[in-house]
Chains A and B, each alone.
Chain A
Amino acid sequence: QSVLTQPPSVSEAPGQRVTISCTGSSSNIGAGYDVHWYQQLPGTAPKLLMYGNSNRPSGVPDRFSGSKSGTSASLAITGLQAEDEADYYCQSYDSSLSGWVFGGGTKLTVL
């Protein structure tokens, strides 16, 4: 069981909008620690997609956005494209564990 909970899978048609949730607790997201998101395309290493809850690294399209509220965070992808099909992971810091934690990952399928 991951400390951060994500839906195992989401799917949506091209051009549509999808959101991926990341639910934590009072020792991680709820404690005010930032949430970061990673994208892992099939057969490749993960790549930073969003940092500090809602900041995009250079080169990440503005179709991707992030938000955080309370003990949860969300990644939204608009104008879905086939190339967005990947696994997405959230990450934060947990004060009870004194370390960093990942969500279990969400597989996005573009129908």
Chain B
Amino acid sequence: EVQLLESGGGLVQPGGSLRLSCGASGFIFSTYAMSWVRQAPGKGLEWVSTISGSGASTYYADSVKGRFTISRDNSKNTVFLQINSLRVEDTAVYYCAKDGGSRIQLWYRQYWGQGTLVTVSS
């Protein structure tokens, strides 16, 4: 059974930083791309970032490029999202997802974690 467990969310002031983690189990972690998707309170889903199975390729939404960094540790079955220069509009539940699909443009979010809340406020 695929399980994804996010952690690291919390309350942070504008301009601050957080590191989100997502521990995975139930599949061969290193062979799958992983993604982060966020959802602001009462709003829809927004793709944030994706990393390939090896970690060699990373992809970012324009809204977070230059401020967020995705990485993974395949020895620990964990994917990370380093979020810097936080803004009020970054307030959201951040979901970790295991990707499915045969090639990058066809990737989809196959399994989702329960999410971790990031609140940016002074």
- Interface residues in chain A, defined as those with a beta carbon under 8 Å from any beta carbon in chain B: 2, 33-34, 36, 38, 40, 45-48, 51-52, 57, 87, 89, 91, 93, 95, 97-105
- Is A105's CB under 8 angstroms from B45's CB? yes
Stretch binding the partner chain, chosen from B9-17, B82-90, B108-116: B108-116
List 20 contacting pairs A-B, 8 Å CB cutoff, sorted by A: A34-B108, A36-B108, A36-B109, A38-B109, A45-B114, A45-B115, A46-B37, A46-B109, A57-B110, A87-B44, A89-B45, A91-B45, A93-B104, A93-B106, A93-B107, A99-B47, A100-B50, A102-B44, A102-B45, A105-B45
- Is B95's CB under 8 angstroms from A46's CB? yes
Which applies to chain B's interface (DSSP): helix, strand, loop or mixed? strand
Which residue of the partner chain, among A57, A89, A91, A99, contacts B60 with CB atoms under 8 Å?
A99
- Is B59's CB under 8 angstroms from A102's CB? no
B100 at the interface (CB under 8 A from A): yes
A105 to B42, CA, bound (A): 11
A8 to B53, CA, bound (A): 35
A17 to B112, CA, bound (A): 28
B107 CB to nearest A CB, Å: 7
Which residue of the partner chain, among A51, A87, A99, A102, contacts B110 with CB atoms under 8 Å?
A51
